[in-house]
Amino acid sequence: MGGIPNPQPGEIYRSALQTALGYAVAAALWVLLSDLLLAAFPPSTGWVLWRSVIKGWLFILITATLLYALLRRHADRVLQAERSYRDAVQNAEEQKRQFFRNTIAGITEGKLIVRDPEEIVPLLPPPLCAFTITTPRDAARAREEVRRAALALGITEEQADDLEVAAGEAITNAIKHAQGGEVTLHADGDKILVRVTDHGPGIADLMLPRAVLERGYSTKPSLGMGYTLMLHLTDRIHLCTGPGGTIVILEQHRDSAPRPAPAPQKQANPAPLPTAWV
């Protein structure tokens, strides 16, 4: 992957110099050629005055038009360079996010999927119930309602307990990091889905792997994000996060087999990012 284009100062100065030289050459030619042309006419007191006025007006008109064309050409170059830079930055961000998505999905064996906003809506049928959460009391009530509704949908007591704890982690994150949000519960075939939505700052791309994979990691010193626990307690997690907020969807299957205890995680040095991402 190539690096982001970096316009060199020499290129910018050269473009400005070319504009100035083009104007200077055109102005010099006008002065020379117009004087040679006027010298061909017989001298006359009245004609000398008017030819000077007309020559001055024409000089202003022609050089102003030329200057506009040269500056427009220079501006087009600058705008093209800015567009190329923005496109390169956007492509680098998209590639970086896709890299993180693939890495997280691979490490979690497909249990944690990072989604784009447009991918969330098709995942969810109409909600069976919804709760607004802003306080710890709201969180406790939402957890209890999630457990009760999940049991009514046919999952086992153990699965309901797991889903309640996992939902509690996601709800606590929403309250702690975004001062609250909304919880909805959905059923889709053999799947029970709990969505926790907030409108906080989201998780930055560079922090995303640590936030969702490193046990106890948090963007705030008072709270671990709890994703490793949620991964162990549910069958799959769908995560959509950005500057506009975070959506966590916990997916639990009615016929899930018992989950093994999580293996100890080894601390590894992260691989260096490509230069275009730095």
0.75 exceeded by the pTM? no
Position 81 scores a pLDDT of 83
pLDDT value for 147? 94
Query: Tell me: the pLDDT tens digits for 219-253?
Result: 543 333 578 889 889 999 999 988 889 999 999 99
pLDDT-based confidence at 6, cuts 50/70/90?
low
- The pLDDT confidence band at residue 27, using thresholds 50, 70 and 90, is confident
SS (H, E, C) the chain: CCCCCCCCHHHHHHHHHHHHHHHHHHHHHHHHHHHHHHHCCCCCHHHHHHHHHHHHHHHHHHHHHHHHHHHHHHHHHHHHHHHHHHHHHHHHHHHHHHHHHHHHHHHCCCCEEECCHHHHHHHCCCCCEEEEECCHHHHHHHHHHHHHHHHHCCCCHHHHHHHHHHHHHHHHHHHHHHCCEEEEEEEECCEEEEEEEECCCCCCHHHHHHHHHCCCCCCECCECCCHHHHHHHCCEEEEEEECCEEEEEEEEECCCCCCCCCCCCCCCCCCCCCHHHC
* Least confident stretch, 79-93, 189-203, 209-223, 244-258: 209-223
Q: How confident is the model at residue 275 (pLDDT cuts 50, 70, 90)?
A: very low
**CB-side neighbour CA atoms (13 Å) of 94:** 6
Q: Residue 245: what pLDDT?
A: 92
- Condensed to tens digits (0 to 9), the pLDDT of residues 83-127 reads 888 898 888 888 888 887 888 888 888 898 989 889 998 989 999
Please check the confidence at residue 154 and state whether its pLDDT lies above 80: yes
Mean pLDDT confidence for 260-275: 45
Instruction: Identify the bridge partners of residue 131 per DSSP, sorted by sequence position.
Output: 183
Alpha carbon distance 136, 138 (integer Å): 5
The arithmetic mean of pLDDT across residues 142-148, rounded, is 93
Instruction: Tell me the C-alpha distance between 188 and 156, whole Å.
Output: 17
Mean pLDDT of all residues belonging to the chain: 79
Assign a CATH topology to domain 108-259.
Answer: Heat Shock Protein 90 (3.30.565)
